Amino acid sequence: MDRRRLTHELASEELPAYALGALDADESAGLAEHLAECPLCQADLHRFDALLGLLGTAVPQESPPPGLRERVLARAASEAHVAPIADRPALRLLPRWARAALAAAAALVLILAGTVALLLYNQWQIRQELDALRAEQREMASILAQSAWWAPVTAEAGQGQPVVGRLYLQEGQAGVLVIDGLAPLAPGQVYQVWLIRPDNTRVSAGVFTVDASQRATLVIHAPGTWSAYQGMGITVEPGPAGSPGPTGPRVAGCSLADWQPGGL
């Protein structure tokens, strides 16, 4: 989607509505793009998030039914066999492909770090990229750790390649797509992710490519909230920015009706 990049001033104006989840799909996606690269807006967003927590106190107070306490504690006790989180290496929480994807991302950071040393004249630009990549990695790990649902991603019938993947969904609007088995693309092409509304209109959720491993892991921000979509599809589109609407063959997708509770 050829979305106009938001200036910092415009993004800053829309942050309160973004924090409330009150933006339209396109506006929300544009702001998410800006947020990914603007530490000022990220800090501002954290403050609005805190403010919205406070706002939750301003309702009439009611006591929960007495039986609820026992139910919650009994459910927790029944899960007591789970090892303490602190005793588990964090990455063991992730499935094999997610570990591999994160390892690949980490390796990429190292490669970029080496590039900084080699290309001193371009140091500033590369630093920006590194920071963005690290931020993305942190965000990805955070979303994976917080994901409440996942949906299986499968190849479109008739495609030669066996595509398997999962879309992990955090409550709200963030998710991580982990996909394996996508064919490398011709130069100038990209894979584009589409979120499908109940009325079958498509909203672009970003573009990506795959490396020789045919694997990709990417963060997706659903404009609005996940509940506004019934499915996700991936098509091949002209790069680097993709298309305003799907034009190429659909290679994989998932139905969000197949959501499974439980994260990693």
* Binding residues for another protein (CB under 8 A): 13-14, 16-17, 19-24, 46-65, 68-69, 71-73, 75-77, 79-80, 82, 84-86, 145-146, 148, 171-172, 198, 224-228
Rank residues 2 and 70 by Cβ distance to another protein and give the closer one. Answer: 70
The least distance separating another protein from the CB of residue 92, rounded to whole angstroms, comes to: 14
Q: Residue 213's closest CA among 166, 178, 239?
A: 178
The least distance separating another protein from the CB of residue 176, rounded to whole angstroms, comes to: 15
The least distance separating another protein from the CB of residue 161, rounded to whole angstroms, comes to: 33
The least distance separating another protein from the CB of residue 198, rounded to whole angstroms, comes to: 7
Q: Please state whether beta strands 215-221 and 174-180 pair in parallel, antiparallel, or not at all (unpaired).
A: antiparallel
Rank residues 35 and 190 by Cβ distance to another protein and give the closer one. Answer: 35
Rank residues 172 and 248 by Cβ distance to another protein and give the closer one. Answer: 172
Whether a cis peptide bond, with omega within 30° of 0, leads into 16 is no
Q: CB-hemisphere CA count at 13 Å for 176?
A: 27
Rank residues 74 and 212 by Cβ distance to another protein and give the closer one. Answer: 74
Rank residues 64 and 188 by Cβ distance to another protein and give the closer one. Answer: 64
The least distance separating another protein from the CB of residue 126, rounded to whole angstroms, comes to: 28
Rank residues 19 and 195 by Cβ distance to another protein and give the closer one. Answer: 19
Dist CA 224 CA 136 (whole Å): 20
33 backbone dihedrals φ, ψ, rounded to 5°: -60, -45
Q: Residue 158's closest CA among 249, 257, 258, 255?
A: 249
Dist CA 34 CA 41 (whole Å): 8
The least distance separating another protein from the CB of residue 79, rounded to whole angstroms, comes to: 7
Q: Residue 226 corresponds to which amino acid?
A: W
Query: Could you tell me which residues come within 8 angstroms of residue 29 by beta carbon, excluding any fewer than 6 positions away?
Result: 1, 3, 203, 204, 205, 221, 223
